Structure 1
Amino acid sequence: MRNIGKWIFRIFVMFILAAAAAGLWQREQITRLLAVNSLFSEDEIVRNFSHMNEAFLTTPVSRGTGPTTPLNYGADAPMQAKVADWVTARDVTALVVLKDGEIVHESYYKGTTAEDLRISWSVAKSYLSALIGVLVEEGAIASLDDPVTQYAPALGGGAYDKASVRNVLNMASGVVFDEDYLDPKSDINRMGRVLALGGRMDDFAADLDETFATPGAEWKYVSIDTHALSMVVRGATGRPIAELLSEKIIAPMGLEYAPYYLTDGFGTAFVLGGMNLTTRDYARMGQMFLQDGFYNGQQIVPKDWVAASTTASAPTATGEIGYGYQWWIPKGAVPGEFMARGIYGQYVYINRPRGIVIATNAADRKFREEGVADQNVDIFRIIANSI
């Protein structure tokens, strides 16, 4: 994980050369693969994270036709020296802080702006969870204890055969999925090739056939679980994720700019990490969850779902970070403290007792180093307790 650029280089240069030699790929496809090759390079990562549509196929997520929900500005809250040092150390590109629904701090770095649509990475998982909560209330998904194969029969006979929707939401599917970025043969790298080369993510998930534990028995963060949930949603509704998310979550929130998803070659949204929004719009999501799913004058996500999904219900190790339904609960969290997070330093942190939402984007190539994740939470708590 220390040098993901090398992983990208090994994988995609190989495919570029093979494709060019065989004459099978158009110029646009080769250009896209070259862009992916440099996605995480030190000189280009900041720009790339604001222009993911140049490296991947995408699909728009309509913001609807309603007005933008205003985010009013409160009294400016100067950041402490520790926060300024953290911004530099962690290659932060944006920091938006809300207190009681008002912006009390907003800053952008490294040439980014308030208009940049920044890649979410795994923050996107929490958006899919919110959508599932709406569908459960509407009855499209009858029960979290239903088997995933009831809604996604293509997963039958494989690793997900005995897992319930709840198991997968909790990242307790028991499915073997190797997320070693430095191993070109790992599952995460094979998945990356499927995505970048226009393959079908559904087929990739259905082909997984190994388990390491009985579903529900052990927690292990397995990114492909979120794609399996996407298959459940699409199977239950017969509709694409981008369309559903727009109708149920995005349009009711009144965002400033229309988001987009990265997709595979068949237009299927890359739900486990492919959302792209402005940092203020990430903050709106956090504010909606701080308010128990109520935002812009309406109950967007059921209150009960907000409570359940942000409670540490997964079988994580005692004393370690907790996990709910695609949401994280920090170590030592007070009630009402939870977050969405993604690789390279993307966060939406909520502290309900303090009335605080913090949305941050970053291009932190050292995000995997020991102690970095805990340091990030410590900074969020410093900010929350100082306002």
Structure 2
Amino acid sequence: MLAWLMSCHVLAEDGAASTGLQPGDLDRLEAEAGEISRLHALVVAEDGDIIFERAFGGPGLDQPANIKSLSKTVLAALVGAAIEQGIVADVEQSIRELLGPRVPEGVDPRVSDITVGHLLSQQAGLERTSGQNYGAWVASPNWVEDALHRPFVDLPGGQMLYSTGSSHLLSAALTEASGESTLDLARRLLGEPLDITIPAWPRDPQGIYFGGNDMQLSPRALVQIGELYRNDGTSNGARILPEGWVETSWEPRGISRWTNDGYGYGWFITTLAGEQAYYGRGFGGQALYVIPGRKLTIVITADPMPPSPGGHFQHRLNRMVDTLLSGETGDE
């Protein structure tokens, strides 16, 4: 009987192993990643354990890297942590209420209808500050006022209008509501419980830390952000994000006009190799993937400097992850 039980245990372990990533899968991943000259680092964690990590260039694996607009995903986690701590009431709270005196005179009355959730899902309705409007926005003397004075091109809660200004309003709201800088709040609510280092990053002319761009995190630190979501907002048994936050964040509320992927609260939603996949992304090839069905968290960092490789580059990264999951050789 003992021998039979032991054999069943071995078979169970072998069966479990066969459903996970195999050495050949990781070899193909490394070979494909090595063909992408822009890549700096690639890390794969399976069920919380890092099983693959390579530095191809740049700062490396444990040094801060500019994650560009992947910052929006991290900022969304910080908003969730602030809600868990009672700093922000919920996603239905008005951004005007949170910003208080930072709201300038003469803004459109519809600003009062913009909620925290609208900003997280990029559905504020205000004209975008990204794309061709980005340069003028960051050159303005007050980024919060400039973003709020933009004309409405849709109603709050309407179409997805990807805008870094929307994320920056969240950073300003966190600063005003907490009485702490976004940096201090991030270190306290995310850095300490996840045991990750969060260095300072750029601020606007009023000293508000840039919401939605230019955060500095190492690839290994980003793994912990992904794992926080994979584990339903908990870390080492402690709840960091509100119960149900991850499910809510991964519910598509809009569609990206560039990838046709869904977008929730700081996360894009897609399907890779038949698996539901969630990812954040940043200019130049910064990416954080979570594939819950395979217990995987994948981090990619790359050269963030122009010229941009174009929108097709995100598709290439998606194909690389798809190839890893499917165990098949990619076409590039």
**Equivalent residue number for residue 175 of structure 1:** 126
- Contact kept, 8 Å, 1:356 with 1:384, in 2: the verdict is no
TM normalised by structure 1 equals: 0.70
- Contact kept, 8 Å, 1:172 with 1:315, in 2: the verdict is no
1:133 shift after superposition = 1.4
Q: 1:216 aligns with which of 150, 154, 157?
A: 157
Say yes or no: does 1:148 pair with 2:89: no
Q: 1:166 aligns with which of 83, 103, 117?
A: 117
**Equivalent residue number for residue 204 of structure 1:** 146
**Equivalent residue number for residue 207 of structure 2:** 267
Q: 1:191 aligns with which of 137, 141, 152?
A: 137
- Contact kept, 8 Å, 2:58 with 2:303, in 1: the verdict is no
1:353 shift after superposition = 0.6
Gaps of 5+ in 2: 1-20
Change (3 A) 1:265 1:113: same
Helix, strand or coil at the partner of 1:261: coil
- Structure 2 letter corresponding to 1:168: L
- Contact kept, 8 Å, 1:174 with 1:215, in 2: the verdict is yes
Helix, strand or coil at the partner of 1:84: helix
1:271 shift after superposition = 1.9
1:97 shift after superposition = 0.6
1:315 shift after superposition = 6.0
- Structure 1 letter corresponding to 2:118: N
- Contact kept, 8 Å, 2:172 with 2:208, in 1: the verdict is no
Change (3 A) 1:295 1:190: same
Deviations for 1:367-387, whole angstroms, at most 9, x for unmatched residues?
A: 553532222112112223449
1:334 shift after superposition = 6.1
**Equivalent residue number for residue 344 of structure 1:** 284
Deviations for 1:336-375, whole angstroms, at most 9, x for unmatched residues?
A: 5201111110011000110111111011656553532222
Task: Measure the CA separation in 2 of the matches of 1:267 and 1:366.
Answer: 29
**Equivalent residue number for residue 307 of structure 1:** 247
1:246 shift after superposition = 1.0
- Structure 1 letter corresponding to 2:157: G
**Equivalent residue number for residue 37 of structure 1:** none
Deviations for 1:17-66, whole angstroms, at most 9, x for unmatched residues?
A: xxxxxxxxxxxxxxxxxxxxxxxxxxxxxxxxxxxxxxxxxxxxxxxxxx
Deviations for 1:40-95, whole angstroms, at most 9, x for unmatched residues?
A: xxxxxxxxxxxxxxxxxxxxxxxxxxxxxxxxxx9966634465344433511000
Gaps of 5+ in 1: 1-73, 181-185
Say yes or no: does 1:320 pair with 2:260: yes
- Structure 2 letter corresponding to 1:220: L
Task: Measure the CA separation in 1 of the matches of 2:37 and 2:205.
Answer: 33
- Structure 1 letter corresponding to 2:125: G
Helix, strand or coil at the partner of 1:263: coil
**Equivalent residue number for residue 280 of structure 1:** 220
Cα RMSD (Å) of the superposition?
2.8
**Equivalent residue number for residue 238 of structure 2:** 298
Say yes or no: does 1:232 pair with 2:173: yes
1:267 shift after superposition = 2.8
- Contact kept, 8 Å, 2:226 with 2:290, in 1: the verdict is yes
- Contact kept, 8 Å, 2:288 with 2:298, in 1: the verdict is yes
Task: Measure the CA separation in 1 of the matches of 2:237 and 2:318.
Answer: 30
Task: Measure the CA separation in 2 of the matches of 1:87 and 1:96.
Answer: 13
1:266 shift after superposition = 3.7
**Equivalent residue number for residue 17 of structure 2:** none
Task: Measure the CA separation in 2 of the matches of 1:293 and 1:77.
Answer: 32
1:147 shift after superposition = 2.1
- Contact kept, 8 Å, 1:120 with 1:275, in 2: the verdict is yes
TM normalised by structure 2 equals: 0.81
Task: Measure the CA separation in 1 of the matches of 2:36 and 2:60.
Answer: 19
Change (3 A) 1:149 1:292: same
- Contact kept, 8 Å, 2:83 with 2:242, in 1: the verdict is no
Change (3 A) 1:173 1:331: farther
Correspondence 1:96-111 to 2 at 5 A: 96-110=43-57
Helix, strand or coil at the partner of 1:145: coil
Aligned residues: 302
Q: 1:244 aligns with which of 175, 178, 185?
A: 185
Moved more, 237-246 or 367-376: 367-376
Task: Measure the CA separation in 2 of the matches of 1:241 and 1:315.
Answer: 28
